């Protein structure tokens, strides 16, 4: 395996250059290697191949903040903004809400690298910066905080790795919107790893917005740690990109935690969107709720894998999971797999997944009222998406994303 060897060499070279704290991840990465084609967690998503390909071609991109403009929906919205440009947190332009701390993140994410996704390890070794956000106890940030991850690949193939941290003090509240923003047509590979810690009764609403770029390969990983009474809400929306892998791992490490994971993905020709989630109930009396919906069109591919663990002590857990897919063509595919492992005996858990075409009965019903077939289809698909988009709280984001979906649905032949 020539490619792997060269990666090995590249990683090994870094040994002398990176801080001590990252050596564990480096050793572990050298030990396990990036996931091969038959790796259980990556059998549908050959991200390794594309990483190696792009990494070999990536040039040094100069950082030119003057070259990008905000995506329009952010320009108009009343928010705080932080920029990360080609892997570097831009502290100068950062609009930091009063009362909270935002610093450049240089703390590696992994205390113990064992058992982690190899791309997490890769990120831990290679990440260049990111933001480190601390919200003090009992503090509520009123306006959403937008983190714009700018990948400028206009002048060359690009590779970048960032890592963000958020620490929520007791009873603190924050809404963050993470936006992937790509400039230029070259290929790129970028990874983004986020570590969130929620102390008692903290509330974090996070939106992961992947609606920009083509020709980009993206690895995204969230590790969320919840203490008692905390509430974590995430909404992941994926419309653009060539191949994306999202790992969302939430640990409910105390009682009365609440976790809501919502996802919507829409893969068109040549797009590949993979969502892996893990919800780990470790203590009693917590709730988790998960709903991911996808539309696959043309040769679009979707992957969903949802793990729920209910540990022996986690009695009285409520855990729900659902993944629903609509396939709009014969060539579109989805691989969906719920994986529940339950050791406690007094719990309520359910899961379900569906993959099918648009309901012909529903189509006929609408047509029999005078709606054209195209309208009827768009109606049903928008309705399918609205179960998710209706839950988006910031109005500007909800309107923007609903419009984008609508646009993508009506962009060409259905």
Using the minimum distance from each CB to another protein, give the nearer residue, 146 or 328: 328
Extended beta strands in 211-332, E state = 216-226, 231-238, 243-252, 258-267, 272-281, 287-296, 301-310, 318-327
Sites of contact with another protein (CB under 8 A): 359-362, 364-373, 375-376, 379-380, 382-384, 386-387
Name the residue nearer to another protein (CB basis): 104 or 410. Answer: 410
Q: What phi, psi does 294 have (nearest 5°)?
A: -140, 150
Q: Which is nearer to another protein, 3 or 353 (CB)?
A: 353
Give least dist CB 383 to another protein, A.
3
Cβ proximity to another protein: between 379 and 396 the closer is 379
Alpha carbons within 13 angstroms on the beta-carbon side of residue 54 total 24
> Residue written as tokens 């969502």?
275
Q: Rounded CA gap, 358 and 365, in Å?
A: 12
Provide the 3-class DSSP secondary structure of residue 326: strand
CA 209 remoteness from chain centre: 8
181 DSSP β-pair partners: 150
CB of 372 to another protein, least distance (A): 5
* Nearest distance, CB of residue 362 and another protein, angstroms: 5
Could you tell me the two tokens for 166? 């958020």
* Smaller CB separation from another protein, 112 or 360: 360
Report how far apart, in Å, the C-alpha atoms of 349 and of each of 22, 74, 123, 310, 396 are.
Answer: 38, 38, 33, 9, 34
Q: At its nearest, how many Å lie between another protein and the CB of residue 353?
A: 17
* Cα 41 from Cα 278, distance rounded (Å): 12
75 or 383: whose CB is closer to another protein? Answer: 383
Pick 341 or 373: Cβ nearer another protein: 373
Residue 105 CA to residue 4 CA, distance in Å, equals 29
- Give the residue from 41, 47, 123 showing the smallest Cα distance to 87: 123
Q: How far is the CB of 390 from another protein (least distance, A)?
A: 8
For another protein, the closer CB: 3 or 363: 363
CB of 327 to another protein, least distance (A): 18
The tally of CA atoms less than 13 A away on the side-chain side of residue 296 is 27
User: For the purposes of burial, counting CB atoms within 10 Å of the CB of 407, is it exposed (0-12), middle (13-18) or buried (19 or more)?
Assistant: exposed
Locate all alpha helices (DSSP H) within 239-359, ordered by sequence.
none
Least distance (Å) between residue 257 CB and another protein: 29
Least distance to another protein, CB of residue 396, Å:
22
């Amino acid at each position: 395996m020539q490619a792997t060897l060269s990666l090995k060499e590249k990683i090994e070279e870094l040994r002398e250059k990176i801080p001590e704290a990252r050596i564990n991840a480096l050793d572990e990465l050298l030990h396990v290697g990036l996931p091969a084609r038959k790796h259980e967690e990556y059998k549908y998503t050959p991200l390794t191949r594309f990483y190696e390909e792009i990494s070999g071609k990536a040039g040094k991109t100069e950082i030119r903040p003057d070259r990008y403009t905000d995506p329009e929906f952010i320009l108009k919205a009343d928010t705080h903004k932080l920029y990360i440009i080609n892997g570097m947190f831009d502290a100068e332009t950062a609009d930091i809400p009063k009362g909270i701390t935002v610093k450049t993140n240089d703390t590696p994410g992994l205390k113990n690298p064992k058992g982690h996704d190899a791309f997490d390890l890769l990120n831990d070794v290679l990440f260049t910066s990111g933001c480190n956000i601390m919200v003090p106890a009992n503090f509520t940030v009123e306006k959403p905080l937008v983190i714009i991850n700018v990948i400028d690949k206009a002048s060359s193939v690009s590779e970048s790795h960032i890592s963000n941290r958020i620490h929520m003090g007791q009873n603190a509240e924050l809404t963050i919107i993470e936006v992937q923003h790509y400039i230029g047509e070259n290929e790129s590979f970028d990874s983004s790893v986020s570590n969130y810690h929620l102390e008692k009764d903290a509330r974090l609403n996070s939106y992961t917005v992947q609606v920009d770029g083509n020709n980009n390969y993206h690895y995204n990983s969230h590790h969320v740690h919840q203490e008692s009474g905390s509430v974590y809400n995430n909404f992941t929306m994926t419309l653009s990109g060539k191949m994306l892998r999202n790992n969302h791992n939430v640990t409910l490490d105390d009682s009365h935690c609440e976790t809501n994971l919502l996802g919507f993905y829409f893969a068109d020709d040549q797009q590949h969107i993979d969502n892996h989630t893990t919800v780990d109930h470790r203590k009693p009396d917590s709730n988790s709720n998960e709903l991911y919906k996808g539309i696959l069109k043309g040769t679009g591919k979707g992957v969903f894998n949802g793990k729920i663990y209910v540990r022996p002590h986690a009695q009285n857990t409520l855990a729900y999971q659902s993944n629903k897919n609509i396939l709009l063509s014969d060539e579109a595919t989805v691989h969906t797999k719920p994986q529940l492992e339950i050791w406690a005996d007094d719990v309520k858990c359910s899961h379900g997944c569906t993959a099918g075409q648009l309901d012909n009965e529903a189509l006929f019903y609408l047509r029999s009222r005078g709606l054209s077939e195209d309208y009827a289809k768009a109606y049903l698909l928008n309705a399918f998406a609205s179960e998710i988009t209706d839950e988006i709280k910031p109005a500007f984001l909800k309107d923007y994303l609903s419009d984008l979906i609508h646009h993508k649905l009506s962009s060409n032949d259905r």
